[in-house]
Amino acid sequence: MFEDNLSIRETKKVQKNRNAVLVTIFLLFIVTLPQILLGVIVIPGVLQGVRPGPEEIARHMSADAYILSVLYGTILASILFYLFARKYLNRNNASLGLKSNDKLKNYIKGAIIGLIMMTGVFLQLKIYDQAQISLNYKNVSPAIFFVFLIGWMLQGFSEELMCRSILMNYFAAYNGVKSAIISNSLIFAIMHIGNPGFGLLAFINLFLMGVIFSLLFYISDDIFMPAAAHTFWNFSQANIYGISVSGLSQTSTNLIKTKLVGNSYLTGGAFGVEASFLTLWIEVMVVIIFINAAKKKSKEEASKFSLENN
């Protein structure tokens, strides 16, 4: 059993009791809203019933333009998430993991974790001869590369604000930390179900990635650590190593071009390496490491709670 950390204790103090199903459904609607608006803007006839899914929208835009539109569209989602949490759930910044004094330090730690994990996957692709790899940095605009980095930072923060800041602590306040980690990680995986190439292994890997981000949030009590890990997992995957993220179109702005050519169980097939066994075993190792760290954090929280009540 994990003891409540500061943000969970704060959530218990201030959060209004709302229907969990309705809360989850509304947050999932907010996730899709930027894509719906993008579809209305770029697809002729969308208002007459054309469904603005990722593949349909991508046919009307270049890969880079589509991905950047999706990334920067998460600004709207983040604003709506925050307003929903503050106004409807009565949450404050402390309950959302936004009050840490070590935001920069935690962000750097998270970025390193995300980068190391994806680099581990990439090196396996090379070692096991599952990809054709070539350098592409000479064809990359530094300005566009930076624009992508900011975009992934916005996207990573947005999804972590929803899944970890809001949902994980919401569930933890009523059902305990372990249940909250499992619940929000399942929702995180389900969020990707409409992406091209999604399958069982993608679901398992995304669930485990949700567990990793959840453990980072619990350990650090700061949403900026999992947000950074999320960001740099995606950014390094897309713009450093040139691999498509979660089945999305592959960007041309990458330092390395990677063409997946091996066994789909190792490369992830159409969904990319997030549906790969190479990713799975790395995630399992990281989960084990972070569970041990979370147990240590739990003991620290138990000691603090004991001192505060004596």
Beta-carbon contacts of 107 under 8 Å, excluding residues fewer than 6 positions away, are 224, 225, 227, 228
- The answer as to whether 1 is a domain residue is no
**What dihedral angle (degrees, nearest 10) is formed by the CA atoms of 181, 224, 296, 300?**
-110
Inform me whether the pLDDT recorded for 194 exceeds 70: yes
- The answer as to whether 227 is a domain residue is yes
Inform me whether the pLDDT recorded for 303 exceeds 80: no
pLDDT of residue 154: 98
Query: Could you list the residue range(s) of the whole structural domain that residue 183 is in?
Result: 6-308
DSSP structural state of residue 249? P
- The answer as to whether 262 is a domain residue is yes
pLDDT band of 123, cuts 50, 70, 90: very high
Summarised one tens digit per residue, pLDDT across range 225-274 is 999 999 999 999 999 999 999 988 789 999 999 999 989 999 999 999 99
- The answer as to whether 229 is a domain residue is yes
Mean of the per-residue pLDDT values for the chain? 91
Say how many domains are in the chain.
Answer: 1
As to burial, measured by CB atoms within 10 angstroms (0-12 exposed, 13-18 middle, 19+ buried), residue 152 is buried
